[in-house]
């Protein structure tokens, strides 16, 4: 086959291919949108800003894998005590009570007050403590919870098992 004939055949093939392709092709992004929407929905469902990214609440990692129960939750962070997402007592940043915060033989009155309404609905209290929190403040919280009517505590931990 001479070179001119070959060039003509190639040009014909290209013209035929161009005729087959749409004149105004759009990027097909529907599947990609589906995928990203699913990923976003997954992340938003499992994203818990109360734990994730809170430097004042780092849970201890221990090898347990126990049954989980629902209930009202109290967070003992290094900078405050939070009951169901509401800051009740501000701490000094190291898990200690700030001067002037009232404390009595039954714990911390502000915590007791915040928990007493919730104790009517559930006997179980979820306690999420920062791993560096001294047991003194955890004990105060437990004493307050006990006085408010809770007798079953579930400590929220990061499971390594």
Partner 1 sequence: MARRGGLEDTGPGLDLIPMLSVVVHLVPMLLLSVRFLALSQIGARGPVISALDAPDAGSLADQSKRVVSVEIDEKGFLVGGSPGLDPRIPCAGDCSPSTYDLAALGKALRTLKEEHPDERRVVIAPTSTVPFEVVAAVMAAARSDWSTGKEQVLFPEPLLAVRQ
Which stretches of the chain bind partner 1, using CB under 8 A? 26, 29-30, 32-33, 36-37, 39-40, 43-44, 46-47, 51-53, 59-60, 62-69, 76, 105, 126, 129-136, 138-140, 142-143, 145-146, 151-161
Using the minimum distance from each CB to partner 1, give the nearer residue, 63 or 99.
63
Q: How far is the CB of 57 from partner 1 (least distance, A)?
A: 11
Q: 113 vs 152, which CB is nearer to partner 1?
A: 152
CA gap 95, 137 in Å, rounded = 7
Tell me the closest approach of the beta carbon of residue 88 to partner 1, in angstroms.
18
Please say which residue, 97 or 110, places its beta carbon nearer to partner 1.
97
Nearest to partner 1 of 88, 140 (CB atom): 140
- The DSSP 8-state label assigned to residue 97 in this structure reads B
- Checking DSSP bridges between strand 86-90 and strand 124-129, what pairing results, if any? unpaired
Q: How far apart are CA 134 and CA 40, in angstroms?
A: 38
Q: What SS3 state is found at 96?
A: coil
Query: ∠101-106-110 over CA atoms, to 5°?
Result: 40
């Amino acid at each position: 086959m001479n070179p001119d004939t070959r060039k003509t055949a190639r040009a014909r093939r290209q013209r035929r291919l161009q005729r087959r392709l749409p004149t105004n092709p759009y990027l097909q992004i529907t599947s990609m949108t589906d995928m990203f929407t699913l990923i976003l929905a997954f992340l938003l469902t499992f994203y818990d800003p109360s734990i994730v990214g809170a430097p004042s609440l780092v849970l201890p990692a221990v090898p347990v894998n126990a049954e989980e129960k629902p209930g009202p939750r109290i967070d003992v962070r290094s900078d405050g005590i939070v009951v169901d997402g509401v800051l009740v007592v501000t701490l000094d940043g190291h898990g200690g009570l700030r001067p002037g915060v009232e404390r009595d033989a039954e714990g911390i009155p502000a915590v007791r007050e915040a928990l007493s309404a919730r104790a009517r609905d559930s006997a179980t209290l979820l306690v999420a403590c920062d791993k560096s929190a001294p047991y003194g403040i955890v004990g105060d919280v437990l004493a307050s919870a006990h006085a408010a009517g809770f007798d079953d505590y579930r400590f929220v931990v990061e499971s390594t098992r």
